[in-house]
Structure 1
Amino acid sequence: MNDLTELKRFVVAHAISQGLPADHYAALLDRVTTDAGDEPGSWPYEWIRAGDEWDAAGQTALAAQYYTMGRFPYVDGPGRKRALVRGLDAFDRWRRGVPGLEPVVVEVGGVPVRVWAAGLSAERPRPLLVMTGGIVSPKEQWAAVLPQIASFGMAGVVADLPGVGESPLRYGSDAWTLFPAILDALEDRARVSETYLLALSFSGHAAITAALRDPRVRGVVGNGPPIHDFFTDAAWQARVPKITRDTLAHLVGVPPEAVFAHVRDWALRDADLAALTVPLAAVTARRDEIIPPGDVERLKRHVRDLRLVEHDDVHGAPSHLAETRVWSLLAVQRMRPDADPEVIAALTSALEDARTGAGR
């Protein structure tokens, strides 16, 4: 069972990342008195009830966000399962009204996995951007960005990290194979030899690994990725929030007390970082409660083409949402040799606005 105080604190960062104003969810959180079950006052029930109200009001996209929060941080029973199913249904209904936003099923190790895509074309294949969330955020939290990616002259895909959301995969050290599988599936509808990965939180670790092993990956943008010390530093691991430890344990399929021993061998070595030949851009947070500062220092010491933005913030930099979003999209465009100068200029201007507060 999740610690309710910790659960409420962490979900606020995700609500902010989805652009939900505090007056939308503050009263809802006050009504939540228990993590477990699916009765009034429980975590899933209250988020689902609010989602139903938005859905009835015709706000399908907003309803999907509320349902998605109801399954946060992962499905552990009937209530959160109900929230996940409703969230998937609401998002699917919303995306049907968005031209070009489509589901695609890819085979990952023989297992069918659904992703969301936009900008795919057999006649005019475009460079590809693949976006993934972390261990607690499913693809439906991020897929609304796909039409914007398509407007940049790219094809875009948003996928779940293995085990997250509706993904049937088990999260493991082979999570990086998700990316080559997506590229293989789309090679007739996108220029997969020019692929960029925008990978948030834990999926950044998988994205860097994929870039080391698949030459079709031409650049990686991350936000708070674990690198080495997160996997090996026992003193730091003792400080990692319970919700993070328990979610990671759930995804990899081991008891919480065994999870750090299980993932210890996942650490990227200094030689791995030095071998990275493509640019890596990363958002980091000085008060990150999940990723140790040593991981950022390793990137600085060993990655040959590193582009960092550092915020005085917690994991994911939720208080710098507007700036982080634009900076990440701009970082992708600056990695592309054939990016549209007008797109870069527009994103640069938007970044300046975000940094001065005009874009928030």
Structure 2
Amino acid sequence: MPYQWKVAPEDLFVERYRQMVNSGLPTEDVDMVRSAVTEMWPDRPGGWVYEWSRLAAGYAERGRHRLAALAYGWAKFPALADDAKHMALQRQLEQYTLAAPGFEVAFERRLVTAFCGEGVKTLPVHLLTPRGWSGDTPVLLASGGVDTWKMDFHQLFEAVALRTGMGVLAFDIPGTGECVGPMDSEDGADIVRALAAEARALGNGRVLHLGISMGGHFSACSGLAGDVDAAIVIGGPVEAAFAPGRTFAHGMDGIVGNALGFGHEPSPAELAKSWPSFGLRPLLDLDANVPMLVINGADDVHVPQHDTLVFAGRSDTEVHLLPDTGHCAVSKMPHVLQLMFDWIDRHQLPTVRS
């Protein structure tokens, strides 16, 4: 069962405010919610989920479904720790689906079966393609991390599809969103391999993998293992982030604990027992990766610089540690996107649209 933990809502606004307004929500509406929220978990006036859901419902009543989906996305943030958060996720999906006819790309919701260890997972994914797409380009697998999921990143994934001409197959990593937990490195790798097979059949046979934040752990894994044809890692933890004694900022310990499947707030020792299987040192030692692009901010409080710089000097690998920005270089996202598009162009991965 998921659990709630002590986290100050204002701390989340401080950390995520730029992300909230850059996602497309009007600044004045974000400020209104920020001024109204006084507590994190109770579903009542002043509560995080209540105030964000009230904003979303107002958008929905006026037929502004894309904004409603964004607001419900923040209502369920940062983890599905109770029924109100699960309801917000369901309402986000409803509003996202209603908004789909107005997207600049074509939208299709699909189910993909992945064999994970001895079990099977059926994973809802979203295929975003440029209008008139004929499947003659690579397909990009794309995911966010432990608290920002496939619908939350729609604007970015839509921009990638339009700029590159590729289809984008968006999914949630294990333990998050619509991918039932717990988060597990091996299950994540199995899911990526299943999605890569699906993507090869949809496009021209070539598959790229974009992972953001914890999703970057899985794209680093797929790129190092050669499970895809190219990989982009933005703010991905790969080794030092999982070292013993690591602590978390801005409530991330509770977010991660929920994704890992704990039913109570874990102690640092309990969290530490979960990390050894996530370390990618065995793959890093192979020196057999596909072309990779690795980017992060130099001031990241969640992922040590080592986890970006460890890729420097590898064959077919380009590394950028950007100054004066934090986790995933989110405050410099236009620059990150340009680096990504330039890298795709240089590698002639898809047929890039003018």
Normalised-by-shorter TM-score class: 0.7 to 0.9
Residues 24-43 of structure 1 correspond to what in structure 2 (within 5 A)? 24-43=29-48
* TM-fit CA distance, 1:146: 4.6
Please, which runs of 5 or more residues in structure 2 have no aligned partner?
none
Report the equivalent of 2:171.
159
Provide the rounded CA distance (Å) in 2 between the counterparts of 1:35 and 1:11.
15
* TM-fit CA distance, 1:131: 1.0
1:184 matches 2:189? no
Counterparts in 2 of 1:273 and 1:218: CA distance versus 1, 3 Å = farther
* TM-fit CA distance, 1:202: 0.9
Q: SS of the residue aligned with 1:119?
A: strand
Selected match of 2:309 from 294, 297, 310: 297
Q: SS of the residue aligned with 2:322?
A: strand
Higher helix share: 1
Provide the rounded CA distance (Å) in 1 between the counterparts of 2:331 and 2:157.
23
CA deviations on 1:76-134 (whole Å, 9 max, x unpaired) are 11221221111111001111444621111101222211111033999644311111101
Residue 253 of structure 2 aligns with an amino acid whose one-letter code is R
Counterparts in 2 of 1:122 and 1:14: CA distance versus 1, 3 Å = closer
Provide the rounded CA distance (Å) in 1 between the counterparts of 2:244 and 2:314.
19
Provide the rounded CA distance (Å) in 2 between the counterparts of 1:93 and 1:273.
47
Counterparts in 2 of 1:242 and 1:150: CA distance versus 1, 3 Å = closer
* TM-fit CA distance, 1:66: 0.5
* TM-fit CA distance, 1:10: 2.9
* TM-fit CA distance, 1:186: 3.8
Provide the rounded CA distance (Å) in 2 between the counterparts of 1:150 and 1:228.
31
Residue 82 of structure 1 aligns with an amino acid whose one-letter code is M
1:252 matches 2:260? yes
Tell me how large the CA RMSD over aligned residues is.
2.4
Counterparts in 2 of 1:331 and 1:230: CA distance versus 1, 3 Å = same
* TM-fit CA distance, 1:322: 2.2
Percent sequence identity over matched residues? 20
Q: SS of the residue aligned with 2:328?
A: coil
* TM-fit CA distance, 1:25: 0.6
Provide the rounded CA distance (Å) in 2 between the counterparts of 1:303 and 1:228.
19
Residues 240-279 of structure 1 correspond to what in structure 2 (within 5 A)? 240-241=248-249, 243-254=251-262, 255-257=265-267, 258-269=270-281, 272=284, 275-279=287-291
Counterparts in 2 of 1:301 and 1:243: CA distance versus 1, 3 Å = farther
Provide the rounded CA distance (Å) in 2 between the counterparts of 1:135 and 1:141.
12
Report the equivalent of 2:144.
133
Q: SS of the residue aligned with 1:113?
A: strand
Answer yes or no: is the 8 Å Cα contact 1:129–1:198 preserved in 2. yes
Higher RCO (CA-CA < 8 Å; seq separation 6+): 2
Q: SS of the residue aligned with 1:139?
A: coil
CA deviations on 1:236-281 (whole Å, 9 max, x unpaired) are x13x215212111111123432112211331111762652432221
Aligned residues: 337
Provide the rounded CA distance (Å) in 2 between the counterparts of 1:103 and 1:118.
9
CA deviations on 1:22-74 (whole Å, 9 max, x unpaired) are 32211211111111121111000000001111222221101110000011111
Q: SS of the residue aligned with 1:316?
A: helix
Report the equivalent of 2:96.
91
Residues 8-19 of structure 1 correspond to what in structure 2 (within 5 A)? 8-19=13-24
Residues 205-284 of structure 1 correspond to what in structure 2 (within 5 A)? 205-215=217-227, 217-234=228-245, 237-238=246-247, 240-241=248-249, 243-254=251-262, 255-257=265-267, 258-269=270-281, 272=284, 275-284=287-296
Report the equivalent of 2:107.
101
1:113 matches 2:119? no
1:321 matches 2:333? yes
What TM-score comes out, normalization by structure 2 length? 0.87
Selected match of 1:69 from 70, 74, 84: 74
Provide the rounded CA distance (Å) in 1 between the counterparts of 2:151 and 2:49.
17
Provide the rounded CA distance (Å) in 1 between the counterparts of 2:315 and 2:200.
29
Please, which runs of 5 or more residues in structure 1 have no aligned partner?
344-360
Counterparts in 2 of 1:185 and 1:301: CA distance versus 1, 3 Å = closer
